[in-house]
């Protein structure tokens, strides 16, 4: 089985890459040069027709139309990795089939929150003034305990949320995070992780 992750410098590929590194899951890294437009060439649009990074190829699974499974969207990639490689939703880990299903639903919720709600609050300038502090107030409470968002071990939900939060000091150093100690701790914990540092090496 080979997992191939397609990414590029300063792209969201660092998110699934962090997960793979943190969980010590073997993978092949293919870095595309966005400046040179490599992601728009047919070799890559055969993998993600939208020509966006990241994308994942998992040759252990056959796609419905044949050929290896190919995925785009960082959230879908993380959910797949959590299920197939991270073992986050097994009955053994969760305690029962029902608990495993509940965990999967909650991880999907956090991945969608990160990509559809948090990312928009961060990167759409008109949302940053009102939506961003509102989300931070709630998120700070969720993160206050320092425990994983779902289950007992750090997983895909934490990866997505922490990865977006860790963009804050990189892209918006002017934002004062003083009112949100839980958020600051989540960023510090990401930054202190050697796996995160490796994943961000070519961010």
Ligand X SMILES: N[C@@H](CCC(=O)N[C@@H](CS)C(=O)NCC(=O)O)C(=O)O
Q: How far is the CB of 118 from ligand X (least distance, A)?
A: 11
- Looking at the DSSP bridge assignments, the partners of residue 4 are 28, 57
Please, what is the Cα angle at 94 between 88 and 99, to 5 degrees? 110
Nearer to ligand X, 7 or 151 (CB): 7
Q: How far is the CB of 106 from ligand X (least distance, A)?
A: 19
Nearer to ligand X, 32 or 195 (CB): 32
Which residues are CB-contacts of 180 (< 8 A; sequence separation ≥ 6)? 136, 137, 139, 140
Q: How far is the CB of 158 from ligand X (least distance, A)?
A: 17
Nearer to ligand X, 123 or 197 (CB): 123
Q: Answer yes or no: are the C-beta atoms of 32 and 53 closer than 8 Å.
A: yes
Nearer to ligand X, 77 or 85 (CB): 77
Q: How far is the CB of 49 from ligand X (least distance, A)?
A: 12
DSSP character string of 44-73: HHTT-TT--S-EEEEEEEE-TTSSEEEEES
Which residues are CB-contacts of 164 (< 8 A; sequence separation ≥ 6)? 114, 118, 119, 122
Closest CA to 118 of 140, 86, 145: 140
Q: How far is the CB of 132 from ligand X (least distance, A)?
A: 18
Summarize as ranges the residues that interact with ligand X (CB under 6 A).
11-12, 34, 39, 51-54, 73-74, 115
Nearer to ligand X, 11 or 162 (CB): 11
Q: How far is the C-alpha of 145 from the C-alpha of 182, rounded, in Å?
A: 8
């Amino acid at each position: 089985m080979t997992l191939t992750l397609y990414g590029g410098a300063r792209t969201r590929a660092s998110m699934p890459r962090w997960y793979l590194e943190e969980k010590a899951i073997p993978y092949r890294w293919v870095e595309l040069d966005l400046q040179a437009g490599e992601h728009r060439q047919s070799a890559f649009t055969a993998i993600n027709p939208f020509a966006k990074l990241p994308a994942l190829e998992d040759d252990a699974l056959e796609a419905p139309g044949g050929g290896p499974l190919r995925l785009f969207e960082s959230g879908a990639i993380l959910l797949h990795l959590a299920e197939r490689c991270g073992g986050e939703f097994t009955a053994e880990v969760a305690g029962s089939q029902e608990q495993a299903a509940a965990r999967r639903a909650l991880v999907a919720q956090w991945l969608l929150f990160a990509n559809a709600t948090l990312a928009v609050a961060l990167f759409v300038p008109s949302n940053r003034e009102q939506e961003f502090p509102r989300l931070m107030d709630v998120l700070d409470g969720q993160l206050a305990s320092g425990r994983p968002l779902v289950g007992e071990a750090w997983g895909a939900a934490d990866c997505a949320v922490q990865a977006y939060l860790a963009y804050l000091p990189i892209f918006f150093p002017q934002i004062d995070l003083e009112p949100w100690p839980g958020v600051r701790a989540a960023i510090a914990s990401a930054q202190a992780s050697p796996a995160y540092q490796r994943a961000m090496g070519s961010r």
